[in-house]
Amino acid sequence: MLQLSINGEARTFAGPLTVTALIDQLGFTGRRVALERNGEIVPRSQHAATELADGDVVEMVVAVGGG
């Protein structure tokens, strides 16, 4: 089991889990999102190859209306 913090929320997932799989499980596949893992950006090209580890802190963002 993996305990992750996603946008400040504690979430548990079955491991192993890549970034691509995480985005899929959260329902954001195909959506334009950007992701930080422990303060470092994981480029889209690395999503499939990046395995998340227990305790990772993930930030996932989108573009929203703003001025």
22 CA to centre of own chain: 6
Q: Say whether residue 47 binds another protein (CB under 8 A).
A: no
Nearer to another protein, 14 or 62 (CB): 62
Nearer to another protein, 5 or 18 (CB): 5
Number of residues lying near another protein (CB under 8 A): 27
Beta-bridged to residue 5, according to DSSP, are 10, 57
Contact 18, 51 (CB under 8 A): yes
Contact 13, 58 (CB under 8 A): no
Binding footprint of another protein on the chain (CB under 8 A):
6-9, 11, 26-28, 31-36, 39, 41, 43-44, 59-67
